[in-house]
Amino acid sequence: MPEIVNLLIETFGKHCVLTHEQASTRIASNWKQPGNLNCLALLLPENTQQVSKMLQLCNEYNQPVVPHGGLTNLVGGVVTNANEIALSLERMNKIEEINTTNKTVTVQAGVVLEQLQHAAAEHGQLFPLNLGAKGTCMIGGNIASNAGGLQALRYGVMRHLVLGLEVVLADGTIISSMNKMMKNNAGYDLKQIFIGSEGTLGIITRAVLKLEDMPGTRNTAFIAVNSFDKANELLQLSRKHLNNNLTSFELLWQDYYTLMTSPPSVFAPPLPQTYPFYILMESLGQNEENDKTSFEGFLEGCLNNELIVDATIAQSHQELNWFWGIRENVEHIFSVHDPVFLFDVSLAISDIDIYIKDIRSNLQSIWPDAYLYTFGHMGDGNLHLYVSCGNDNKETKHRVEEIVYKPLQKIGGSITGEHGIGLEKRSWLYLSRTPEEIALMKTIKKALDPKSILNRGKLFE
């Protein structure tokens, strides 16, 4: 057994350090990496002090460490090799304080997102980050990847929901910046360095997050429009008419909507499948009578002036699950097509329509039978693309990535909206960041992790 593993077992005990053989009974990932975990050892710390001592020892031995959360990363951010040690925060899963006066919650990094949502709701509070992996993903990973999700239009991405952080650096130094104030202008805002850093600069162990009042009303509609321009006009008008209540504005292209509402999908279409674009719009508020009247009146007016061509409003919790199931059941794509390449990009709303048309044209010029399924958070310009063209070799993958990513450089878009870089996108990072920006990122990495033990090879070669 390697010396570093023996030392870790001697220091923390066998209950906190699983050997290679013991760790190999666990899955490698809930998403992209098939098979079981193949690592030198798996560390299971129970508190920040243990994380600190573990990293201190690993740093002394120049031992690479891969932080593990809920293992839902889509870009290879938790890929762990046989010579690396995995460190999971699953045991650090306490919700330490919910403060309804200050609208804050203090949590350990291993708290599962859905667990936090339920706990906040019991106090009449809302933690507004909401995404498909909420039953598995952990808060530390949400912060490390700057997660976005379905309600970012109103509440922002994870970066906007974090007030304070506790982070352990590569050498074991504990940076405790557990700020609970909305305003704190005392020097550098250090937490921002670690939000979205994908576990390459430090391991997040605790956080102070913002809460909102639990909404008292929820109005949700599926809407059909005849063009992208109409969808954009509806977005702008709904921002004005529904004001701060507009929470979600999800755009679905016809091919995605049709796939998700046709057998073998379990979901029937709430609207005919004949329209080019569909919108799942949701408004959360506090005044039941006024909110419902405003929402329905707005849609009626849009129908009367032909801005929209069809719409249906959810009338029950069952219909809410039906509507959102169509949007979120993305795994259905993999039961119909194989292989599938998935992408998560971000760009200005004004560029979306022509960008998708060009992508579709370029794909089909090479693979006439290629499928492109597109949907996403139109309100913040974050799109998800799923491509199936019948091949799964490296050459095909690279060509598809080139078609999807390269046009983004000219229009100032990003190769990632909310999933990060990890291993999958690091060779394309130059399209979204200048050489000077990348050089500065590497300078920060070298300053905080000079031996490069944290998530080695992620983000940069």
pLDDT of residue 76: 86
Structure tokens at 374: 């597109």
Structure tokens at 55: 């990293």
Please work out, in degrees rounded to the nearest 5, the angle formed at the alpha carbon of residue 47 by the alpha carbons of 46 and 51.
95
Amino acid present at 438: I
CATH 3.30.70.2740-classified regions of the chain: 332-447
Question: Which residues on neighbouring strands pair with residue 222, listed in sequence order?
Answer: 280, 312
CATH of domain 95-213: 3.30.465.10
- What is the pTM assigned to this prediction? 0.94
CATH of domain 3-89: 3.30.43.10
Distances (CA, A) of 329 to 86, 107, 269, 333: 30, 29, 14, 8
Residue 227, Cβ neighbours under 10 Å: how many?
12
Architecture (CATH level 2) of domain 332-447: 2-Layer Sandwich (3.30)
Tokens 């329209």 map to which residue? Answer: 275
Question: Which residues on neighbouring strands pair with residue 346, listed in sequence order?
Answer: 382, 414
Amino acid present at 317: H
Query: What 3-state DSSP class applies to 88?
Result: strand
CATH 3.30.43.10-classified regions of the chain: 3-89
pLDDT of residue 32: 59
CATH 3.30.70.2190-classified regions of the chain: 217-328
The H or E element containing residue 297 is: helix 288-304
CATH 3.30.465.10-classified regions of the chain: 95-213
pLDDT of residue 33: 63
Q: Which of 324, 298, 299 is nearest to 310 (CA)?
A: 299
Contact 69, 110 (CB under 8 A): yes
Contact 146, 157 (CB under 8 A): yes
Gap between the Cα atoms of 270 and 319, Å rounded: 9
Gap between the Cα atoms of 404 and 341, Å rounded: 11
Contact 332, 372 (CB under 8 A): no
User: CATH 3.30.70.2190: does it fit domain 217-328?
Assistant: yes
Alpha helical stretches, state H, 329-381: 332-336, 349-366
Question: Which residues on neighbouring strands pair with residue 112, listed in sequence order?
Answer: 138
The string of DSSP letters for 161-214 reads: TEEEEEEE-TTS-EEEE----S---SS--THHHHTTSTTSS-EEEEEEEE-EEP
HSE-CB at 331 with a 13 A cutoff on CA atoms is 8
Gap between the Cα atoms of 397 and 342, Å rounded: 10
Contact 192, 248 (CB under 8 A): no
pLDDT of residue 18: 96
Handedness of CA 37, 43, 47, 52 (dihedral sign): negative
pLDDT per residue as tens, the chain (461 positions) = 899 999 999 999 999 999 999 999 998 887 756 789 999 999 999 999 999 999 999 999 999 999 999 988 888 889 999 999 999 999 999 999 999 999 999 999 999 999 999 999 999 999 999 988 899 999 999 999 999 889 999 999 999 999 999 999 999 999 999 999 888 888 899 999 999 999 999 999 999 999 999 999 999 999 999 999 999 999 999 999 998 899 999 999 999 999 999 999 999 999 999 999 999 999 999 998 899 999 999 999 999 999 999 999 999 999 999 999 999 999 899 999 999 999 999 999 999 999 999 999 999 999 999 999 999 999 999 999 999 998 889 999 999 999 999 999 999 999 998 889 999 999 999 999 999 999 999 999 999 999 999 999 999 88
| Range 419-457 burial, b when 16+ CB lie within 10 A, else e | bbbbbbbbebbebbeeeeeeeebeeebeebbebebbbbb
Handedness of CA 420, 50, 95, 36 (dihedral sign): positive
Report phi then psi at 42, rounded to 5: -120, 120
pLDDT of residue 390: 81
